[in-house]
Structure 1
Amino acid sequence: MSRAPVTETVGGRSYGVPVRPDPASPQARPRQASLDDLGRPLAEVTFVVVDLETTGTSAATSEITEIGAVRVRGGEILAEMSTLVRPSAGIPPMVSVITGITDAMVATAPAEAEVVPTFLEFARGAVLVAHNAPFDLGFLRAAVERCGYPQPAWEHLDTLRVARRVISRDEAPDCRLGTLARLFRSTTAPCHRALADAQATVDVLHGLFERLGNLGVRTLEEVHEYSSRVSSAQRRKRHLADGLPTGPGVYVFRGADGRALYVGTSRSVRSRVRTYFTASEPRTRMAEMVALAERVDAIGCAHALEAEVRELRLIAEHKPPYNRRSRFPERAVYVRLTDEPFPRLSRVRAARDDGTYLGPFGSVREADDAADALLAAVPLRQCTPRLSPRVRRPACALADLGRCGAPCDGREDVDAYARHVAAARAAITGDPAPVVAVATRRMDRLAAEERYEEAAVTRDRMIAFVRAAARGQRLAALTRVPELVAAAPTADAGWDLVVVRYGRLASAVTVARGIDPRPWVDAAVASAETVRPGPGPAPCASVEETERIGRWLAGSGVRLVRLDGTWSWPAAGATRAARSYAAPTTAATPATAATPTPSPTATASTTAGPAAAASTATAAGPARPPGWTGPAAVN
């Protein structure tokens, strides 16, 4: 007969002792394991909740500047770790603004090679927890690799993923850490500092565990399964992906009444649609959409850019309820320089003429901030009545403060006031340096007086103006080109061709490897959509469409084939200034990302756009170097 192991407790630890048990004892009786024995109870698992601050968003090109971690088990905090990390390069200014971590603060901090082994020891034997765990784990793995350590087999839990399964939209508008911290009444408010954010994540984790406990989820394995489960009803709809194209395109989920529920795009439509029915969907609204969907329509496209453009157009047309972005392009806000004897700035919803516009903006507040920055540098009038040189009105207090030339009471005539108008127009369409200079002087003065909140307001207004001016200049540069033909090399040595007219995608073609692309260029131009020019910054397409085309044209390897007209923007324009204030995180949507600053041409007043030949190419034919066998290079 074999001997059953019995434990003896020594110093609070249990050790196996092979002695013969009493046959009448409960330990000797056979017992069937319960379901609770099949997993690790959450109360017995040690978690290390970690948060990082970094110099950017890419683990391949950015570094860690701060690590904060909290070790918890059974709802109790066992230990905390917090340290700044000295990166090998400087911290971008906008990152310092967000996190409050400056180069001076990390100058004497330990280097990455000193911090990584400390964290590895701190996290040993624990389950890592982070809010948006792929981001933090990506940086940690990159740091471990740079330091020469083997990659740990970290088991991890993502509170963002779990929250999307547990929290409904009625409870919280989103699942950001700050929103969840308020929902669960965290004792620590997230503030973009590593330890504080980690402490807030601990409270969020415990709040989520309470919710999961009410659902019968009590082990770590059950948490993993719950956050990634796919319902049987969801799997039964996988046949909706049958017959869809395997290449790039747009797909439209439709309900029982045929209404578009959601529009998406993918490089492989069938594979992407199938994942909605066979893979975990962390977004609650997407699970709701899949439950309502009865069929999926698809439109095959020549390449990814055409698919992205068609997606934008379909979303704007159908306004699907489960798409959050791009549904209302008509809600864009502009700041317009009015056309009258004494112009002023006016906030408008649409650009209906060829006047001077600043924007577009995503919100009224952002538009007002940009207008305030311009008015601080240029003394345009701020009153709303229409003024005439023949009619006099009492001046307001702005005239006494020197912030208005008071054309209302005759202190400035039309010619004198026109100088202010010209300065405002030059700042919007050309060099924003005067606006930046005035804002910088004010920020320096406020900072010297320790009025940091007011300095931050001035900074935000300046950034809003610079980014809007840069966006408008990029749009104007592309929307005034009657026709542009460009090509991008594909992975299989073919070509993706586009025909763009006045900022609108008019035709798209893919040329296979080994085929002369020139006849295909002629065919694409001949079959392209007819586009008529119109007024405003983006007259023929949505702003997002034109900007996506601009980013595609600025991509690596893209070649300019034909250009009817000129594609350029000012050498000292707002695009270059906006790069200094580029947001380090996803706060800036792809639609507002800055295009790389082009290289200067021989002229002093302008630089070429992303197309190197933009200032001189015409419709006379393709711009090709001698011996060219494909389209001419853009960059």
Structure 2
Amino acid sequence: MGTPLSGVAFVVVDLETTGGPPGADAITEIGAVRVRGGVVESELSTLVNPGRAIPAQITLLTGITNAMVAGAPPVGEALAAFLAWARLDGESTVLVAHNARFDVGHLRGAARALGLGWDEPTVLDTLGLARRAWSRAEVPDHKLGTLAALVGSPTRPTHRALGDARATVDVLHAALAVLAPLGVTHLEDLATAADPVPARRRAKSRLADGLPSSPGVYQFLSAAGQVLYVGSAADLRRRVRSYFTASERRSRVANMLDTTVQVRAIPTPTEIEARVRELRLIDELDPPVNRRSRSPRNRPWLRPVGGPRPRLAATTVLPLSQADGAVGPFPSRAALARARRAVESALGLHTWDDPDARTAGLDAAGASDDGACAGISTGAATAARASAGDGDATGAPTGAEAIRLALSGRVDLVALPLLERISALAAAERFEEAGMWTARLRSLLLAACRAEKARPLLACPHLIAARRRPGGGWELVAVRWGRLAGSAITPPGADPRPAVRALRATAEVVAPPSRVGAAASAEETLLLADWALDAGARIVEVDGGEEDAESVLERLSWPVGAAARHRRIIDAVG
């Protein structure tokens, strides 16, 4: 639920300086008050010898003379004493100043100049806070003296550090009291408390008050009961509250918040279950504000088509038996068209007059691209094909066999010749063409990565995986045919085996699907693959149905020539 402001230690500081820039010779006085829960815990006040003369105009303003600081500690000693007293490394400690850019800037500059170290504590500026609490209709300006008078502070600022810090404490408490009904009640709210959020929207943060601080799915509802937006979170209450602060900058979400009257929460045992349920609800409810994860079952795959003229085809209905020889899903038809062009060029296929090519967003004009690369060597193609398996007299697979291998884990059949082509184009300073082929290869590699991740779970009747929880205990997840069938957690120190047995017995029964996406969207399966098959997870038990355990475990490992090996291309900006 976060840290209530009553438990936060506010270190309110004010500095007097020589008027020079931040550094080791600017500070002439430090005054600070440490306050928690409205009670002053301690104060600090010290003059500082800046090691240089104080200008006369500064003396007129502050009353601090050269004689007054002659016997005072130097800047390094005074600052070290302040940092030790302030204890700014505490998780619930906030450094406060009025016009914090000035005071904190001098503290930071002096600390760095003197080698004292500066860990960038949480900073709250009462100037920005006051501007949110009181409009210009209520106060003529937001100077510290004006605000101190407004809130009835017994201390009037006089450009002496401790007195100004005491006045800042009173302004801080008064501003927080004004903003509390608008949702500024916890430490986490302070990061955006001074930002320009409409009061009506900030006040709606109360909609999060009854939510649990646990994983789950949340739904924003309109007055008519329509689900406007669906999301998931590890901490429901904290995440929903964040929507009503200035950290939320998406205009469509801001408009949605203005019409929201209720937030519905669905707690889940684990965060991974929350993320899966979010995907399913977006697919089912089609909320108007959600943009991601919509229509996940309509994402295309690229698969081979046999016959006298082997070719590639796009499909959104992929039989499970063909999943081993296809790549996808692609985020769009355009991405599929780029990948298809890469495969056809590298393998020497000629299908540009095919009607199916046009349905994938391609046309005969694409055939001219190879002509643009005339003279560019692709000798790596023969070597890559020869390493892939049986083929023609030279040992290189051809036709349908080459396509099947390229789409079922031997992506180097396409990647190696295209990388050679890209290098040659770059060497010839034909950078635009090199970029075009890089984009095509990247589309293929990204889809191949998705297929390699999804295949093991798509063909697995039952799997339970486990991950250690940060605070102890285990998270358990059951996956059947690529679908989340259940999840559970165990407390720290407890034997997880009874929980595994209970999860196995209570997990959802999932019938063997006939096609990819029948049991779960590919997006759900990919999410589960990242959780269950990546580093940090343990396979607790696995059932391969008609396959033996050794065969199933082999399927759960990545191919030696996995597409992920080409990280340089995959991580390139698309």
TM over 0.5: yes
What letter corresponds to residue 327 of structure 2 in structure 1?
A: L
- Given candidates 384, 388, 392, the residue that maps to 2:354 is 384
State the Cα deviation string for residues 520-550 of structure 1 (Å, max 9, x = none): 2111111111112224444421122111111
**Residue 347 (1) aligns with residue 314 (2):** yes
Counterpart-to-counterpart distance in 2, 1:455 and 1:18 = 67
Q: Secondary structure at the match of 1:421?
A: helix
- Given candidates 237, 260, 263, the residue that maps to 1:270 is 237
Counterpart-to-counterpart distance in 2, 1:126 and 1:500 = 55
Matches within 5 A, 1:107-122: none
Counterpart-to-counterpart distance in 2, 1:570 and 1:154 = 44
In the TM superposition, residue 305 of structure 1 has moved relative to its aligned partner by 0.6
What letter corresponds to residue 337 of structure 1 in structure 2?
A: P
State the Cα deviation string for residues 480-534 of structure 1 (Å, max 9, x = none): 1111011111123211111100111101111112332212211111111111222
Residues 429 and 573, structure 1, Cα contact 8 Å, conserved in 2: no
Counterpart-to-counterpart distance in 2, 1:297 and 1:368 = 41
Q: Secondary structure at the match of 1:247?
A: coil
Match of 1:358 in 2: 327
State the Cα deviation string for residues 298-334 of structure 1 (Å, max 9, x = none): 1110011111111111111112122221122134122
Match of 2:271 in 1: 304
Counterpart-to-counterpart distance in 1, 2:430 and 2:492 = 62
Match of 1:572 in 2: 560
Q: Which portions of structure 1, spanning 4 or more consecutive aligned residues, are displaced by more than 6 angstroms? A: 124-128, 152-157, 224-227, 400-403, 415-418
Match of 2:538 in 1: 559
CA RMSD of aligned residues (A): 4.0
In the TM superposition, residue 342 of structure 1 has moved relative to its aligned partner by 3.0
The structure-2 alpha-carbon separation of the partners of 1:359 and 1:556, relative to structure 1 and needing over 3 Å to count, comes to closer
In the TM superposition, residue 457 of structure 1 has moved relative to its aligned partner by 1.0
TM-score of the two chains, using structure 1 as the length reference: 0.52
Match of 1:370 in 2: 339
Match of 1:510 in 2: 489
Counterpart-to-counterpart distance in 1, 2:59 and 2:454 = 80
Matches within 5 A, 1:248-259: 248-259=215-226
What letter corresponds to residue 572 of structure 1 in structure 2?
A: V
**Residue 426 (1) aligns with residue 414 (2):** no
**Residue 480 (1) aligns with residue 459 (2):** yes
What letter corresponds to residue 553 of structure 1 in structure 2?
A: A
How many pairs were matched up?
Answer: 369
Q: Secondary structure at the match of 1:375?
A: helix
What letter corresponds to residue 213 of structure 2 in structure 1?
A: T
The structure-2 alpha-carbon separation of the partners of 1:489 and 1:448, relative to structure 1 and needing over 3 Å to count, comes to closer
Matches within 5 A, 1:26-425: 150=118, 228-277=195-244, 280-352=247-319, 354-355=321-322, 356-382=325-351, 383-384=353-354, 419-425=398-404
Counterpart-to-counterpart distance in 1, 2:314 and 2:124 = 49
Counterpart-to-counterpart distance in 2, 1:539 and 1:487 = 25
Counterpart-to-counterpart distance in 2, 1:156 and 1:492 = 31
Counterpart-to-counterpart distance in 2, 1:126 and 1:439 = 58
State the Cα deviation string for residues 315-372 of structure 1 (Å, max 9, x = none): 1111212222112213412222125443311223342563332211112221111111
Match of 2:72 in 1: none
- Given candidates 441, 444, 447, the residue that maps to 1:465 is 444
What letter corresponds to residue 525 of structure 1 in structure 2?
A: R
Gaps of at least 5 residues in structure 2 are 1-54, 61-100, 126-190, 357-366, 379-391, 545-551
Counterpart-to-counterpart distance in 1, 2:514 and 2:315 = 14
**Looking at CA atoms only, which structure, 1 or 2, has the larger radius of gyration?**
2
Q: Secondary structure at the match of 1:302?
A: coil
In the TM superposition, residue 558 of structure 1 has moved relative to its aligned partner by 2.1
Residues 208 and 240, structure 2, Cα contact 8 Å, conserved in 1: yes
Counterpart-to-counterpart distance in 1, 2:321 and 2:220 = 39
Residues 230 and 282, structure 2, Cα contact 8 Å, conserved in 1: yes
State the Cα deviation string for residues 600-626 of structure 1 (Å, max 9, x = none): xxxxxxxxxxxxxxxxxxxxxxxxxxx
In the TM superposition, residue 570 of structure 1 has moved relative to its aligned partner by 5.4
User: % of aligned pairs identical?
Assistant: 37
Counterpart-to-counterpart distance in 2, 1:552 and 1:125 = 46
What letter corresponds to residue 583 of structure 1 in structure 2?
A: D
Give the helix-richer structure, 1 or 2: 2
In the TM superposition, residue 385 of structure 1 has moved relative to its aligned partner by 6.4
State the Cα deviation string for residues 80-118 of structure 1 (Å, max 9, x = none): xxxxxxxxxxxxxxxxxxxxxxxxxxxxxxxxxxxxxxx
